[in-house]
Amino acid sequence: MSQKAWGGRFSEATDARVEQFTESISFDARLAPYDIRGSQAHATMLAEQGLLTDDERDQIITALDEIGEQIKAGQFEHRIELEDIHMHIEQALIQRTGDVGRKLHTGRSRNDQVATDVKLFLRDACDHVCELLTNVQKAFVARSDRDLDVVLPAYTHLQRAQPVMAVHYWLAWCEKFDRDRLRLQDSRARANVSPLGCAALAGSSLPINRRRTAELLGFDGIARNSLDVSSDRDFLIEFVSHLAQIAIHLSAWAEEWILWCTTEFKVLQLRDAYTTGSSIMPQKRNPDVLELIRGKSARVIAASQQLMVLAKGLPLAYNRDLQEDKIPVFDAYDTIVACLELCAAIVETAELKRDSITARLEEGFLDATTLMEYLIKQGVPMRTGHETVGTLVALCEKKGCRLADLSLEEFQQACDLVQENVFDSLGVQNAVNAFVTEGSGAPEQVKTQLAFWKDKLSE
Ligand code: ARG
């Protein structure tokens, strides 16, 4: 093995198993573009502060650009004895520029360097996930116009409850994914302060300019406390927790659509492109993608727990445990990206099975609550109305009919305040039209919501 970059203090070579055990290049290599950007900003600042000459700065920046190109082209060799991406790039720089490259790490430690790299990654990752969330919302909105003719049963306890416009469902998911987006933006803003220049944990006695590197890297300011910076990973815990919340939403959506695709529900048909067959049963069209979106949520939720457990027992400041943070962060991010991309595609292309929805829409007394509210409007106390409709539902079950099939006499026997106009509240279409409250599932309310989302998503 090499006598490392910090080699002076060591007289014995590192055990090969230790090199294998402590390396992170196998998972932090993807930080390379951020590491290069951070180092270029650092070099620019060092030159401004008189810690590098302009010529040295230019040599460093040019060599780092070349290294970046080499990495992009897949021509960059990884050697585990160089541990991590930071050491790899620094060594490559020294190979190209000699003593000039040996000056780059002035006033910096890998502790503030890695925190900076990860924050730069996090900003891009947040932006990308937000964009993908918006694409999912757009997919729901895009299909809304063609689904405005469909009423669906809505459920509580997975029992038929009340009718809503199908679009009410679509826009409910838009709301959830919107909160997910806002949470990410909120954490991104909190995380966007620069760690660079906190060095190992206590700062530097060299006249470096932290505000300048913060500015060059697009941070909103600098982190106040160097000891905090060196150990701070709560920005990652926040990020991955928000990804876990997205995964929870995606999983619940997938579960619902899996049910809807069954012969039992017959509400939805996925496109062939997003289903899979069975190796033995020729008739099958399985919603494997939805099942895996549900299944992969476990990974993302586990990633957030992994980070929390990782951070909970660490004294200030940097501890090598923190190197393990990247594994769950990258895995959770990659998983969510893949899930959101497929979610948008499935949302956009699945078809509602209008015939079977309509054929069964009048089942399950979806208009019972509307009938009760009719009684309230006629002056019946709510609890009495509730009981009355309960007995009418029981009567229908005995007769095997719908509420709308009962006669006026039967209604009046149950409650003498019922009039002929009761039939205007009965049947699913009447019931869905009857909602007047803001945010309800009635056609007019849903159209208002839809206009809101179209406007918001076109911004
Ligand atoms: N690869 C390390 C990590 O990801 C970089 C920081 C190493 N710092 C140290 N003091 N050994 O955390």
The CATH number of whichever domain residue 88 belongs to comes to: 1.10.275.10
Query: Is 449 a member of any domain?
Result: no
Q: Is the CB of 24 under 6 A from ligand 1?
A: yes
Domain termination site, one of 341, 359, 377: 359
The verdict on 367 and 354 lying in the same domain is no
In the structure, what pLDDT confidence band is assigned to residue 87 with cuts at 50, 70 and 90? very high
Contact between 222 and 213 under an 8 Å Cβ cutoff? The reply is no
HEC string of 123-148 equals HHHHHHHHHHHHHHHHHHHHHHHHHC
Q: How far apart are the first and last CA of the chain?
A: 56
Q: What's the pLDDT score for residue 198?
A: 97
Q: Is the CB of 143 under 6 A from ligand 1?
A: no
The verdict on 15 and 123 lying in the same domain is no
Mean per-residue pLDDT, 77-103 = 98
For residue range 229-281, list pLDDT tens digits in order: 999 999 999 999 999 999 999 999 999 999 999 999 999 999 999 999 888 88
Mean pLDDT of the chain: 97
- Residue matched to tokens 């509240």: 425
For residue range 16-62, list pLDDT tens digits in order: 999 999 999 999 999 999 999 999 999 999 999 999 999 999 999 99
Residue 2 has pLDDT above 60, yes or no: no
Structural domain range at position 272: 111-359
Residues designated catalytic: 157, 278
Q: Is the CB of 322 under 6 A from ligand 1?
A: yes
Q: Is the CB of 84 under 6 A from ligand 1?
A: yes
Q: Is the CB of 373 under 6 A from ligand 1?
A: no
Single out the residue of 363, 369, 247, 377 nearest to residue 305, CA to CA: 247
Query: Is 204 a member of any domain?
Result: yes
CA 208 to mean position of chain CA atoms: 37
For residue range 409-449, list pLDDT tens digits in order: 999 999 999 999 999 999 999 999 999 999 999 999 999 99
CA 43 to mean position of chain CA atoms: 35
The verdict on 26 and 95 lying in the same domain is yes
- Residue matched to tokens 């910090």: 6
* Atom 3, ligand 1: residue with shortest CA distance: 323
The verdict on 155 and 200 lying in the same domain is yes
Residue 12 has pLDDT above 70, yes or no: yes
Q: What's the pLDDT score for residue 183?
A: 98
Single out the residue of 146, 137, 139 nearest to residue 354, CA to CA: 146
Q: Can you list the positions of beta strands (E) in 66-189?
A: 151-156, 159-165
Single out the residue of 299, 137, 143, 120 nearest to residue 219, CA to CA: 120
* Atom 12, ligand 1: residue with shortest CA distance: 323
The verdict on 50 and 126 lying in the same domain is no
Q: What's the pLDDT score for residue 280?
A: 87
Pocket test for ligand 1, best of 21, 26, 84 (most atoms within 8 A of CB): 84
Rounded to an integer, what distance in angstroms lies between the CA atom of residue 88 and that of residue 80? 9
Q: What's the pLDDT score for residue 256?
A: 98
- Ligand 1 centre and the CA of 323: distance in Å? 6
Q: Apex CA 120: angle with CA 119 and CA 122, to 5°?
A: 60
Percent of the chain scoring above 70 in pLDDT: 98
The verdict on 63 and 97 lying in the same domain is yes
Query: Is 450 a member of any domain?
Result: no
Beta-strand relationship, 159-165 and 151-156: antiparallel
Q: What's the pLDDT score for residue 459?
A: 85
- Partner residues linked to 286 by β-bridges: 276
For residue range 386-397, list pLDDT tens digits in order: 999 999 999 999
Q: What's the pLDDT score for residue 1?
A: 40
Amino acid 439 reads G
Atom of ligand 1 nearest to the CA of 326: 4
Query: Is 265 a member of any domain?
Result: yes
Mean per-residue pLDDT, 101-130 = 98
The verdict on 289 and 402 lying in the same domain is no
Pocket test for ligand 1, best of 14, 323, 326 (most atoms within 8 A of CB): 323
CA 176 to mean position of chain CA atoms: 10
The verdict on 437 and 294 lying in the same domain is no
CA 336 to mean position of chain CA atoms: 6
Q: What's the pLDDT score for residue 5?
A: 56
The verdict on 269 and 124 lying in the same domain is yes
| DSSP notation for 282-323 | TT--B-HHHHHHHHHHHHHHHHHHHHHHHHTTPPSS--GGGG
Residue 284 has pLDDT above 90, yes or no: no
The verdict on 302 and 335 lying in the same domain is yes
How many structural domains are present in the chain?
Answer: 3
C-alpha distances (whole Å) from 310 to each of 122, 242, 321 are: 18, 17, 7
Domain termination site, one of 51, 71, 106: 106
DSSP letter (8 states) at residue 203: -
* CATH code: domain of residue 325: 1.20.200.10
Q: Can you list the positions of beta strands (E) in 248-352?
A: 268-269, 351-352
The verdict on 64 and 128 lying in the same domain is no
The verdict on 344 and 382 lying in the same domain is no
Query: Is 437 a member of any domain?
Result: yes
- Ligand 1 centre and the CA of 74: distance in Å? 24
Query: Is 341 a member of any domain?
Result: yes
Domain termination site, one of 304, 332, 359: 359
Higher pLDDT, 251 or 2: 251
Q: What's the pLDDT score for residue 4?
A: 57
Query: Is 382 a member of any domain?
Result: yes
Q: Is the CB of 113 under 6 A from ligand 1?
A: no
Q: Is the CB of 6 under 6 A from ligand 1?
A: no
Query: Is 285 a member of any domain?
Result: yes
Mean per-residue pLDDT, 172-180 = 98
For residue range 213-226, list pLDDT tens digits in order: 999 999 999 999 99
Amino acid 218 reads G
* Atom 7, ligand 1: residue with shortest CA distance: 110
Atom of ligand 1 nearest to the CA of 200: 10
Contact between 109 and 199 under an 8 Å Cβ cutoff? The reply is yes
For residue range 323-366, list pLDDT tens digits in order: 999 999 999 999 999 999 999 999 999 999 999 999 999 999 99
Tokens, residue 351: 């078809």
- Sign (positive or negative) of CA dihedral 129, 131, 136, 140: positive
